[in-house]
Amino acid sequence: MSRFLCPVCKQPLSKHEKVYVCKNRHNFDISSKGYVNLLPANQKRSASPGDDKGMVIARNNFLSLGYYSHLKEALEKLCIKYSGKDVNVLDCGCGEGYYTQGIYQRLTCNGKNVSVQGIDISKDAVALAARRVAEGQFAVASSFHLPVPDKSIDILINCFSPLAIKEFARVMKKKGVFLYVVPGPKHLWQLKEALYETPYENPLKEEQYEGFELIDTVKTEKEIFIDSNEDINNLFKMTPYVYRSPKEAQEILLKAEKLTVNAHFIIYLYRKK
Ligand SMILES: C[S@@+](CC[C@H](N)C(=O)[O-])C[C@H]1O[C@@H](n2cnc3c(N)ncnc32)[C@H](O)[C@@H]1O
């Protein structure tokens, strides 16, 4: 059995060599890259929703160099701290699976029985995630319509992707832990200074969500030194500033050979009531 549900009739999907099938014979091919597409056409707002290939490749290249390894390390430690012997992990908006991979490996090395699933609405992202974590199950799907059973997840990760809190509450087990990563106030401050005359700090808000209790807030911060024009370009391309910063400032930034920048993250930990 897979841990995914059929997006048409919500029945469990069983995984075969090349296809996922439910008892009502709805079937979904496993792509040659190892993921399955469980996103029905009526949940798509464009032909290729989510991050595009350029953004996905830029982020994959940047993250693979370890610039945000302090965030990965912090997530891994929290997953160890808050999991039992058997643990079902779901990474919603998993992107290229950089954090999913770290969490899977760390939990496994610590002797846990781990089942890991990742979903993202971008098929380019999911294709890379499935390659990174061959032991996991990855699907193209929306966080707002998770093809996952009720009360089946022990640890749910949401890292810089849309917050679908009602769906998260539905799929999580009682006492499961939800790790919600957002940018810290000064995240990428120097990059913003290069782009805007008056940059703003990211607002900090400790929200309470129905069905969850906020149990901890963890900050992780590092100043990273980038001395490669290619890496600066990749960092810029993985941010939303690509779409909404002045073009002249972008051109100057994209020629830079060096950049010191603050990588500041906040992880909110919520326990499912
Ligand atoms: C900023 S990226 C973060 C990716 C990854 N979590 C990371 O931190 O490296 C946001 C991701 O959310 C995905 N996304 C956007 N809308 C989504 C939705 N409704 N459901 C699932 N994923 C979504 C995008 O395709 C993208 O991969």
- Please give the domain boundaries of the chain with CATH numbers for all domains: 1-30 (no CATH), 43-272 (3.40.50.150)
Please give the sequence-ordered ranges of beta strands (E in DSSP) within the chain, or none if there are none: 14-15, 19-21, 27-29, 36-37, 86-92, 113-120, 137-140, 153-159, 172-183, 212-226, 259-272
**Predicted pLDDT of residue 205:** 83
pLDDT tens string 254-271: 999 999 999 999 999 999
Burial class (CB in 10 A: 0-12, 13-18, 19+), 263: buried
Locate the ligand 1 atom nearest the alpha carbon of residue 56 and give its number: 27
pLDDT bucket at 125, cuts 50 / 70 / 90 = very high
| Distance from residue 96's CA to the centre of ligand 1 (Å) | 9
**Predicted pLDDT of residue 184:** 97
**Predicted pLDDT of residue 165:** 98
Largest CA distance in the chain: 59
Residue 232 has a CB neighbour count (10 Å cut-off) of 22
Q: Mean of the per-residue pLDDT values for the chain?
A: 96
| Distance from residue 129's CA to the centre of ligand 1 (Å) | 12
Burial class (CB in 10 A: 0-12, 13-18, 19+), 249: middle
Per-residue pLDDT, averaged over 210-238, amounts to 97
Q: Are 129 and 136 in contact (CB under 8 A)?
A: yes
Give residues (CB < 6 A) around ligand 1: 50-51, 59, 93-95, 98-99, 120-122, 125, 142-144, 159-162
- Residue nearest (by alpha carbon) to ligand 1 atom 27: 95
**Predicted pLDDT of residue 44:** 77
- Residue nearest (by alpha carbon) to ligand 1 atom 18: 142
pLDDT tens string 172-193: 999 999 999 999 999 999 999 9
| Distance from residue 185's CA to the centre of ligand 1 (Å) | 20
Q: DSSP H helical segments within the chain, as ranges?
A: 53-64, 69-81, 98-109, 123-132, 165-171, 189-195, 229-237, 241-244, 247-253
| Distance from residue 271's CA to the centre of ligand 1 (Å) | 22
138 has pLDDT over 90: yes
Amino acid 76 reads E
Per-residue pLDDT, averaged over 235-262, amounts to 94
**Signed CA dihedral, 243, 160, 7, 105: sign only:** positive
47 has pLDDT over 90: no
- Residue nearest (by alpha carbon) to ligand 1 atom 5: 95
pLDDT tens string 55-110: 999 999 999 999 999 999 999 999 999 999 999 999 999 999 999 999 999 999 99
**Predicted pLDDT of residue 212:** 98
| Distance from residue 51's CA to the centre of ligand 1 (Å) | 7
41 has pLDDT over 90: no
244 has pLDDT over 90: no
Amino acid 235 reads L
Question: In the β-sheet with 27-29, what is the strand arrangement from edge to edge?
Answer: 14-15, 19-21, 27-29
- Residue nearest (by alpha carbon) to ligand 1 atom 1: 160
| Distance from residue 160's CA to the centre of ligand 1 (Å) | 7
Identify which of 62, 120, 133 to mutate to test ligand 1's pocket (most ligand atoms within 8 A of the CB). 120
135 has pLDDT over 80: yes
- pTM > 0.85: yes
| Distance from residue 23's CA to the centre of ligand 1 (Å) | 30
**Predicted pLDDT of residue 40:** 87
CA distance 200 to 132: 35
42 has pLDDT over 90: no
Locate the ligand 1 atom nearest the alpha carbon of residue 49 and give its number: 25
| Distance from residue 134's CA to the centre of ligand 1 (Å) | 20
Percent of the chain scoring above 70 in pLDDT: 100
Amino acid 153 reads I
Partners of residue 225 on adjacent β-strands: 260
Partners of residue 261 on adjacent β-strands: 224
